[in-house]
Amino acid sequence: MADIEKKTKRYPTDLTDEEWERIRPFLPKPAAKGRKPSVDMREVLNAIRYVARAGCGWRMLPKDFPPWRTVYWWFRRFMRRFLFETIHDVALMIDRERSGREASPSAGVIDSQSVKAREHIEASRWPNGVACPFCGSFDVHRMGGKTQAGMFLCNDCRDKFTCRTGTVMERSHIPLHKWLFAIHLMASSKKGVSAHQLMRNLGIGSYRTAWFLAHRIREAMVDDSHKATGGLGGANKVVEVDETFVGGKAKNRAYREPAPKKAVVSLVEREGRVHSRHVADVTAKTVREIIVTNANRASALMTDDAAIYPAIGREFAGHETVNHSANEYARFGGFAHVNTAENFYSILKRGITGIYHSVSETHLHRYLREFDFRYSNRSGLGIEDAERAAKTLRGVEGKRLTYAQPLNA
């Protein structure tokens, strides 16, 4: 085998001597008894970095690396030991030292992040001045002292509160700057962010905490403002209605049948918003209730040729259908179609399959609200990531979700 100096020059992903010396102390020590490992651990890490950077499969590792099965075995062992998080921290320390800073940020820097996050949330929640969430009074003052940092006292009702009070962040021990980071990630990721990814990116201690954090942000994304304006659509506007089924396929199961697929009905306003609901069954009764309470009856309704829609369509200004079973996907020069709804379903299913992998029926309604929010505030409507995150932050007020709360609330 070639010298390590020569091997480090093969690929840009190979560890440098400085990086290797920093990482080597964190690697598992050889067992006191038994056969000593014959594989070069530096080469194993180089192979893992090559796979991560090139995006190739394990079996496609170049021959000058150790056997792919050996590399994969060590990769799984490193994952269980959280070695890659340690390597990330070490690399960050090296970069900070190279730039003339301390290896680790001081407690003051970390605290300043929380202070800036708190100021940002206060400005977002109370743009016209701090108001008491209990009585609505503006006669409040900020309390002093380190132990009461960020607290306000209402001079009328004498209650204490912070920017977390009366929001989905209430009684949360997660720092505010991590809340803002999580909100931005979920608002800017088109197909969502898994709880495991949040746990890694934010440095949260457990998956359960990250999972609950994500659900509280989804609660902040709930937006039923279309009901106040008469529903989706309106005069000279089109609302498409379609249904789909979310879940795995039996052919992808080796030993047992998958859980029954869950039905989802969506109302999509062309060049506008979307509203989705999970239903126990797709019948005229259940679908009609969703449509008439969320769509403006002055709209033109577009559906497929399912038998549940003709009676509902007579309640709207117009109703056109397309016959998918006859391979008909558009009529009247492309005016009558449900392709917009199909486009939304493609994003929904790619997110559930590729990011979340599996969604229980118990929490499906929360995931639907998440995808509804991002689609209704997409770039095509002139709303970019920062504005979408700011709108999510404004939605945290007046909502509360506890871990013991009824799951379907």
At 376, the pLDDT band (50, 70, 90 cuts) reads: very high
Residue that has been written with the tokens 């379609």 in this structure = 242
Q: How far apart are CA 83 and CA 72, in angstroms?
A: 14
Is the CB of residue 359 less than 8 Å from the CB of residue 352? Answer: yes
Instruction: Spell 372-406 as b/e; 16+ CB within 10 A means b.
Output: bbbbbbbeeeebebeebbbbbbebbbebebeeeee
Q: How far apart are CA 301 and CA 313, in angstroms?
A: 6
On the question of pLDDT at 2 being above 60, the answer is no
Which two tokens mark 51?
Answer: 């796979």
| All domains of the chain in start order, with CATH | 4-98 (no CATH), 225-376 (3.30.420.10)
**What pLDDT score was predicted for residue 88?**
72
Which two tokens mark 195?
Answer: 């709880």
At 333, the pLDDT band (50, 70, 90 cuts) reads: confident
For the ranges 19-23, 182-186, 355-359, which has the lowest average pLDDT?
19-23
What are 273-309's pLDDT values in tens digits?
Answer: 999 999 999 999 999 999 999 999 999 999 999 999 9
On the question of pLDDT at 239 being above 70, the answer is yes
Q: How far apart are CA 393 and CA 373, in angstroms?
A: 13
**What pLDDT score was predicted for residue 407?**
53
Q: How far apart are CA 276 and CA 265, in angstroms?
A: 6
Which two tokens mark 159?
Answer: 């209650």
- Tell me the whole-structure pTM to 2 decimals: 0.73
Q: How far apart are CA 199 and CA 295, in angstroms?
A: 38
Q: What are 336's strand-pairing partners?
A: 331
What are 194-217's pLDDT values in tens digits?
Answer: 999 999 889 888 899 999 999 999
Average pLDDT over residues 234-255: 86
Closest of 204, 179, 175, 180 to residue 107, by C-alpha:
175
